[in-house]
């Protein structure tokens, strides 16, 4: 009974009951039994949608009630705001919530008066590096989706961050939430936590495979499900669910497939919509179209008008939120998604169809089956408690062998164990420097002792490996001037400290330092290329024709590049150089006011990718600027980096930078004002209102807002005598 919960802020237990949480689910009861509300560390390895969040909430609320402070670590930025919104319902009981969204290299002191802080693992890592004082006041830390320590890219950060937090406060309560994995006991061992392991789900989940004219289920039963010839099993299954009043989630292996599937699903779903739904969907489609000027945006809007949507990382954040909300409200009937959605926000649905169980893997040079854990996570999205009688998750087989294989690989199989990925060069390059720079170790021995606190050490049967990679990375960091060693002692240099605080991969920093020396009159393209070739910027692949195109540009603009250009005989380095040039060209286009839809088309990317590139470039150029100051490279270098950064930030030519700082003046409006002879904020403030209004195509509201933002003492516009409707439609 939730009524029996003790140790929570007054009123919380009643509030939970009002939400319909009358009784704890069995795994939740087990966690309470294990002492999660009394400060005990717990690892909860429980299926998706079985109430893990409440376990974390109970732990955090009880900790706050005892006068403590809690931190909730999420794997994705999108989840941070979702969790914050969820936790904010406790604010009426005096519990304050904050989400850390600041730039790297800030300590966000304002968070020190929040009871619960939500942040990604990278953000927490950076806060620790920047010495945020409140980190030491934490009494409870929650790690959501802890099984992601297995992820080669991001796992090590979570692992090292937890080790640091636990070193800072040995009494820290650690609550780790995990999908059901085979070796949750090892994770519990590592965190000195009690293990709650359960297969219980609040709603039945049937899993199975469609093959031939039947659905074959995990319990051995079969159900007839014939697909008419020429029909596609996915759309047939989605229509079937919908005619029963349920929604479907379809997982596919690429963005392009997600988009194509949404188009088909829309056609299948469309004729089952009511008139009211059509009207609401049409409205939503318009909203989606307004998010960005791009083909992706239009395609998404078209699918949504028919009641279906696609979801992948190429979408802008606003797109994704609109889709997720409308699916939860049951307005959108089917989503085709890439696997990113499975790891993402809460979007349960009646039926889940895992259409593609293999994915192209660049490293393997071919198709590779998805991990069992990943498919189980997707399947776990099936069934909405209280709404659906049960959830159903299906794979699709094309022949009898595939039917057997899918049963063995996914339906009956246990998920893979979680394995630490810490002992790799890229992970240790970064974390060795940060660990030393932020004072967690000051000698080789101290460093190795610190690394003993990681999952890697708990699991390893080969401790020599961690030691030898660590030694190699110490050499690398010393050689590049980030660390100094005297005997056993290790110290970070000034620049080493800066690199750690800026959250740069030391290899990125080394590349930048090298390129920036002698960058007196660097062009924007040269600087964009410099940051694009660091390991902190993800690559754009070269497609057919790109090699020739960018080789030509490389020679044409050779003088602009910083550092040595590899020759065509160094095939691999040259290839990387060209793909960085592709990114640099994209950034240059953006900073030269090329339209968003032209860019997404030219580089075959989505609007979300463009924004991601722009954000990363901004961060890296800001870091480059800091390094240039630190290295005393002179005011000219600093100024050119700063201009290149601001151009990327606003997507404009240098001459518009005097205007883009004014609120509501985007790249288009800045250009219009400039063409009307208004070049700076001051000129805007003192301009004839009629000129401003004319430049803004007669939009009075916009003109007033912009004048106010520019500091105009009397921005009201009345009867300025411009024919408003003549040009109002141009925008």
Range list of H helices, 244-337: 255-270, 275-291, 295-305, 317-328
Q: Which is nearer to ligand ADP, 16 or 262 (CB)?
A: 16
Q: Which is nearer to ligand ADP, 79 or 707 (CB)?
A: 79
Provide CB contacts within 8 A for 436, sequence distance 6+.
442, 447, 483, 490, 491, 492, 496
Q: Quote the least distance from Cβ 45 to ligand ADP, whole Å.
A: 11
CB neighbour burial string for 593-617, b if at least 16 within 10 angstroms, e if fewer: beebbebbeebebbbbbbbbbbebb
Range list of H helices, 438-462: 444-451, 455-459
Q: Which is nearer to ligand ADP, 196 or 304 (CB)?
A: 196
Q: Which is nearer to ligand ADP, 9 or 385 (CB)?
A: 385
Q: Quote the least distance from Cβ 95 to ligand ADP, whole Å.
A: 17
CA quadruple 349, 353, 356, 359: dihedral positive or negative? positive
Q: Which is nearer to ligand ADP, 251 or 440 (CB)?
A: 251
CA–CA distances in Å: residue 636 to residues 56, 516, 563, 639: 51, 11, 18, 5
The whole-angstrom separation of Cα 579 and Cα 563 is: 16
Phi, psi angles (nearest 5°) of residue 36: -65, -25
The whole-angstrom separation of Cα 66 and Cα 115 is: 11
Q: Which is nearer to ligand ADP, 20 or 170 (CB)?
A: 20
The whole-angstrom separation of Cα 395 and Cα 237 is: 11
Q: Which is nearer to ligand ADP, 182 or 385 (CB)?
A: 385
The whole-angstrom separation of Cα 275 and Cα 150 is: 47
CA–CA distances in Å: residue 623 to residues 155, 429, 504, 638: 24, 18, 8, 11
The strand pair at 173-178 and 42-45 is best described as parallel
Q: Quote the least distance from Cβ 52 to ligand ADP, whole Å.
A: 3
CA quadruple 88, 94, 100, 102: dihedral positive or negative? positive
Q: Quote the least distance from Cβ 26 to ligand ADP, whole Å.
A: 9
Q: What is the DSSP string of 339-350?
A: GGGTTSS---BS
Q: Quote the least distance from Cβ 346 to ligand ADP, whole Å.
A: 5
Round the CA-based radius of gyration of the chain to a whole number and report it. Answer: 28
Q: Quote the least distance from Cβ 127 to ligand ADP, whole Å.
A: 24
Q: Which is nearer to ligand ADP, 22 or 452 (CB)?
A: 22
Q: Quote the least distance from Cβ 20 to ligand ADP, whole Å.
A: 6
Q: Quote the least distance from Cβ 172 to ligand ADP, whole Å.
A: 22
Residues forming the site for ligand ADP (CB under 6 A):
20-21, 23-25, 28, 46, 48-54, 346, 385
Q: Is 31 exposed, middle or buried (0-12, 13-18, 19+ CB in 10 A)?
A: buried
Q: Which is nearer to ligand ADP, 24 or 335 (CB)?
A: 24
Q: Which is nearer to ligand ADP, 121 or 470 (CB)?
A: 121
Helix (H) or strand (E) holding 638, with range, is helix 635-650
Q: Which is nearer to ligand ADP, 211 or 327 (CB)?
A: 327
Q: Which is nearer to ligand ADP, 325 or 679 (CB)?
A: 325
| Contact status, residue 682 vs residue 668, Cβ threshold 8 Å | no
Nearest to 430 by CA among 167, 169, 154: 154
Instruction: List % helix, strand, coil for the chain (3-state, nearest 5).
Output: 55, 10, 35
DSSP three-state, residue 122: helix
Q: Quote the least distance from Cβ 607 to ligand ADP, whole Å.
A: 29
Phi, psi angles (nearest 5°) of residue 467: -65, -45
Determine how many CB atoms are found less than 10 A away from the CB of residue 278.
Answer: 14
Q: Which is nearer to ligand ADP, 44 or 509 (CB)?
A: 44
Determine how many CB atoms are found less than 10 A away from the CB of residue 488.
Answer: 10
The whole-angstrom separation of Cα 340 and Cα 609 is: 14
Residue the block writes with tokens 């790799």: 424
Nearest to 216 by CA among 233, 230, 229, 239: 233
Q: Quote the least distance from Cβ 204 to ligand ADP, whole Å.
A: 15
Q: Which is nearer to ligand ADP, 374 or 609 (CB)?
A: 374
Q: Quote the least distance from Cβ 165 to ligand ADP, whole Å.
A: 22
Q: Quote the least distance from Cβ 382 to ligand ADP, whole Å.
A: 12
Q: Which is nearer to ligand ADP, 50 or 616 (CB)?
A: 50
Q: Which is nearer to ligand ADP, 378 or 707 (CB)?
A: 378
Q: Quote the least distance from Cβ 4 to ligand ADP, whole Å.
A: 13
Q: Quote the least distance from Cβ 146 to ligand ADP, whole Å.
A: 12
Provide CB contacts within 8 A for 432, sequence distance 6+.
447, 470, 473, 474, 477
DSSP three-state, residue 121: helix
Determine how many CB atoms are found less than 10 A away from the CB of residue 253.
Answer: 18
Q: Which is nearer to ligand ADP, 28 or 120 (CB)?
A: 28
Determine how many CB atoms are found less than 10 A away from the CB of residue 143.
Answer: 28
Helix (H) or strand (E) holding 160, with range, is helix 155-168
Q: Which is nearer to ligand ADP, 179 or 624 (CB)?
A: 179
Q: Quote the least distance from Cβ 667 to ligand ADP, whole Å.
A: 40
Q: Quote the least distance from Cβ 237 to ligand ADP, whole Å.
A: 24
Q: Quote the least distance from Cβ 352 to ligand ADP, whole Å.
A: 14
The whole-angstrom separation of Cα 216 and Cα 210 is: 6
Q: Quote the least distance from Cβ 409 to ligand ADP, whole Å.
A: 23
The strand pair at 248-251 and 334-337 is best described as parallel
């Amino acid at each position: 009974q939730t009524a029996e919960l003790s140790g929570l802020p007054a009123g919380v237990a009643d509030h939970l009951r009002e939400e319909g949480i009358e009784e704890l689910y069995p795994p939740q009861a087990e966690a309470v039994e294990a002492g999660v509300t009394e400060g005990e560390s717990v690892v909860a390895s429980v299926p998706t949608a079985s109430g893990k969040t409440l376990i974390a909430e109970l732990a955090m609320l009880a900790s706050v009630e005892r006068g403590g402070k809690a931190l909730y670590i999420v794997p994705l930025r999108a989840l941070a705001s979702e969790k914050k919104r969820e936790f904010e319902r406790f604010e009426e009981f005096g519990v304050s919530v904050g989400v850390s969204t600041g730039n790297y290299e800030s300590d966000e002191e304002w968070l020190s008066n929040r009871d619960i802080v939500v942040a990604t693992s990278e953000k927490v890592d950076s806060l620790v590096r920047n010495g945020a004082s409140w980190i030491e006041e934490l009494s409870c830390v929650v790690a959501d989706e802890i099984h992601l320590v297995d992820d080669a890219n991001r796992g090590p950060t979570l692992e090292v961050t937890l080790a640091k937090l636990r070193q800072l406060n040995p009494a820290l309560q650690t609550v780790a939430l995990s999908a059901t994995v085979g070796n949750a006991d090892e994770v519990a061992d590592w965190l000195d936590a009690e293990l709650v392991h359960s297969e219980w789900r609040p709603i039945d989940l049937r899993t199975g495979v469609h093959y031939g004219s039947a659905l074959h289920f995990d319990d051995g039963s079969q159900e007839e499900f014939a697909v008419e010839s020429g029909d596609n099993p996915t759309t047939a299954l989605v229509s079937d669910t919908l005619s029963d009043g349920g929604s479907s989630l379809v997982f596919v292996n690429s963005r392009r497939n997600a988009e194509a599937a949404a188009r088909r699903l829309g056609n299948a779903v469309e004729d089952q919509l009511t008139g009211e739904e059509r009207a609401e969907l049409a409205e939503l489609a318009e909203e989606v179209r307004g998010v960005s000027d791009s083909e992706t945006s239009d395609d998404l809007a078209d699918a949504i008008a028919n009641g279906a949507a696609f979801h992948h990382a190429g979408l802008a954040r606003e797109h994704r939120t609109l889709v997720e909300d409308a699916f939860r409200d049951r307005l959108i009937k089917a989503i085709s998604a890439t696997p990113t959605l499975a790891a993402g926000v809460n979007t349960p649905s009646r039926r889940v169809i895992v259409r593609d169980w293999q994915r192209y893997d660049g490293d393997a040079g071919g198709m590779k089956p998805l991990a069992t854990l990943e498919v189980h996570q997707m399947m776990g999205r099936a069934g909405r408690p209280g709404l659906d009688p049960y959830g159903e998750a299906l794979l699709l087989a094309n022949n009898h062998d595939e039917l057997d294989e899918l049963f063995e690989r996914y339906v009956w199989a246990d998920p893979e164990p979680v394995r630490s990925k810490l002992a790799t060069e890229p992970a240790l390059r970064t974390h060795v420097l940060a660990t030393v720079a932020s004072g967690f170790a000051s000698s080789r021995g101290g460093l190795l002792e610190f690394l003993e606190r990681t999952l890697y050490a708990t699991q390893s049967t080969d401790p020599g490996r961690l030691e030898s990679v660590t030694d190699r990375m110490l050499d690398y960091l010393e050689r590049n001037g980030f660390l100094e060693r005297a005997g056993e002692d290790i110290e970070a240099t000034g620049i080493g400290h800066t690199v750690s605080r800026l959250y740069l991969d030391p290899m990125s920093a080394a590349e930048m330092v090298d390129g920036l020396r002698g960058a007196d009159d660097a062009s924007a393209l040269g600087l964009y290329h410099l940051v694009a070739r660091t390991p902190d910027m993800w690559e754009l692949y070269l497609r057919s024709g790109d090699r020739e195109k960018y080789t030509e540009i490389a020679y044409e603009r050779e003088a602009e590049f910083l550092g040595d250009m590899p020759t065509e005989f160094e095939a691999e380095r040259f290839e990387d150089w060209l793909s960085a040039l592709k990114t640099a060209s994209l950034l240059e286009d953006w900073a030269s006011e090329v339209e968003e839809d032209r860019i997404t088309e030219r580089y075959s990317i989505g609007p979300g990718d463009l924004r991601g590139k722009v954000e990363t470039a901004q961060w890296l150029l800001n870091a480059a600027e800091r390094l240039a100051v630190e290295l005393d490279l002179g005011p000219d270098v600093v100024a050119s980096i700063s201009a290149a950064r601001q151009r990327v930030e606003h997507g404009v030519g240098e001459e518009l930078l005097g205007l883009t700082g004014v609120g509501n003046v985007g790249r288009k409006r800045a250009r219009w004002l400039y063409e009307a002879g208004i070049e700076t904020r001051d000129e805007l403030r003192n301009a004839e209102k009629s000129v401003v209004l004319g430049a803004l195509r007669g939009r009075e509201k916009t003109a007033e807002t912009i004048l106010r933002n520019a500091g105009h003492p009397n921005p009201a516009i009345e009867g300025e005598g411009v024919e408003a409707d003549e040009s109002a439609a141009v925008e």
